[in-house]
Amino acid sequence: MIVVTGGAGFIGSAIVWALNLRGLDDIIIADDLGTSDKWKNLRGLQFKEIITKDALVAMFGYDNDETLEMDEDEVLDDIGHAESNLGIEAIIHMGACSDTTERDAGYLLDNNYGYSKFLAINAVRRGIRFIYASSAATYGDGSLGYDDNEDELEKLRPLNMYGYSKQLFDVWAKREGLFDIIAGLKFSNVFGPNEYHKAGMRSMVVQAFEQIQERGTIRLFKSYLDDYADGEQMRDFVYIKDAVAMVLFFLDNPEVCGIYNVGAGKARTWNDLANAAFDALGKKPRIEYIDMPDQLINQYQYFTELKMDKIINAGYARPSTSLEDGIADYVKNYLVGGDYLDALDPGAISIS
């Protein structure tokens, strides 16, 4: 049995989709659906059960108020000593608040840091493979580079509280010596089907598609640095099908542990993204450049390009999908028809 936290969310539901394509459906999804539309991501997917975060905590014999009161000094002493793994082979922990503009630090600490610690402790105690989502937001302004080197973790300075909450867990896991037995994945700018519920946090690809359909133009932020022309700010965009293929690599290879980047390894501009979206729809590019909101100016990343040598050296060999091919697959096979990832349809770009 595999537990996927955040399994109704963007990356989590895509992981369930990928597991289904392997013929696996002994899956427990742990997620709180709330009032959003992310429940739609589950239609067509096969899984054993969907439970809440609190119910998952209860599976390990605790109530939610106890998750931050565990004796962390005993983590390593207890590895593999618990009486049972509860039939769980792996916990793929994607559940988190991923809103980079969230200002409630207490909420982020509880949800992204405390809950992650609880799951990691219980996984290693019971000999359960633990794979979790970190974030490229931990790299901050990129002045220290984008190298997934555990030795450099403490030097990183995230630009927002979301990134800091992820950084706190990474540093805690390193301090406890857990990177010998768990895997943390620093996701870059992921785009693709099943992100529709994320409102303002959806990728620019789906927003670009909607803008083209509504007004025939795409709006991009102006640049506030002389080194970058408008729309020439750069990101490491990774297609969701590549991202989940990397996650499954860590599931298949439990001996591969530590912190790893999950990206394309090649920076592309926002103008490239916009042009690819227009091309996928067979339309001539029309781009407008607009002012950036004040709250973003001082925490905006102008360049991200994740180093991918580490995962490649660990044995991951799948070629990265180009930005153009990923956008074409997303637009033509999902956005135009309004389709979600479906266990019965691998789509034009397979993950095998």
Kindly name the residue from 115, 139, 162, 316 that is annotated as catalytic: 162
* Long-range contacts (CB closer than 8 Å, 24 or more residues apart) made by 117-120: 117/67, 117/68, 117/70, 117/72, 117/169, 117/172, 118/57, 118/60, 118/62, 118/67, 118/68, 118/70, 119/5, 119/56, 119/91, 119/93, 120/93, 120/173, 120/178, 120/182
**Segment holding 131, helix H or strand E:** strand 129-135
CA distance 318 to 321: 9
Concerning whether 155 is annotated as a catalytic residue, the answer is: no
Concerning whether 198 is annotated as a catalytic residue, the answer is: yes
Q: How far is CA 109 from CA 15, 63, 135, 169, 283, in A?
A: 25, 18, 15, 9, 44
Kindly name the residue from 198, 266, 307, 332 that is annotated as catalytic: 198
* The token pair that represents 115 in the structure block: 């809950």
131 Cβ neighbours under 8 A, 6+ residues apart: 90, 91, 92, 93, 182, 183, 184, 185, 247, 250, 251
Which positions are annotated as active-site residues? 162, 198
